């Protein structure tokens, strides 16, 4: 999961919530090993914190590459590149 939060207060709240579910890999990137129920709970909690029109959270499922819809966005959607999303 990665995020871009525009307000410092919301940023701190999102970071604290993420720290309770996963491990920080970079400043705004977390690695989380979540059950479906945990992911649903985290998704709900984050949507309660963020401003849907300003903030951006990207959820990437790093499991089975054949899984459809491996990328999910909470908040403000950004256009994907013409070739689709790529994880580097």
pLDDT band at 84 (very low <50, low <70, confident <90, very high): low
In the prediction, which pLDDT does 85 show?
A: 63
Residue 82 lies in a domain: no
d(CA 2, CA 28): 6
Task: Count CB neighbours of 46 within 10 A.
Answer: 23
Distance CA 66, CA 84 (A): 15
Is 42 inside a domain boundary? yes
Is pTM beyond 0.75? Reply is yes
Number of compact structural domains in the chain: 1
Q: What is the pLDDT of residues 34-73, one digit of tens each?
A: 999 999 999 999 999 999 999 999 999 988 777 777 889 9
Q: What is the pLDDT of residues 10-37, one digit of tens each?
A: 999 999 999 999 999 999 999 999 999 9
Residue 51 belongs to what domain range? 2-75
What is d(CA 5, CA 8) in angstroms, rounded to the nearest whole number?
Answer: 8
Q: What CA–CA distance (Å, rounded) separates 87 from 60? A: 9
- 34 belongs to a structural domain: yes
Domain of 41, CATH number, reads 3.30.70.240
Residue 59 lies in a domain: yes
71: phi then psi, degrees, rounded to nearest 5:
-115, 130
């Amino acid at each position: 999961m990665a995020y871009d939060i525009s307000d410092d207060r919301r940023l701190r709240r999102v970071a604290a919530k993420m720290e309770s579910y996963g491990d920080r890999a970079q400043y705004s990137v977390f690695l989380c090993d979540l059950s479906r129920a945990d992911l649903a709970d985290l998704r709900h909690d984050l949507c309660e914190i963020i401003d849907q029109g300003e903030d951006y959270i990207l959820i990437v499922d790093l499991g089975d590459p054949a899984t459809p819809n491996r990328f999910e966005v909470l908040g403000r959607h950004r256009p994907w590149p013409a070739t689709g999303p790529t994880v580097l």
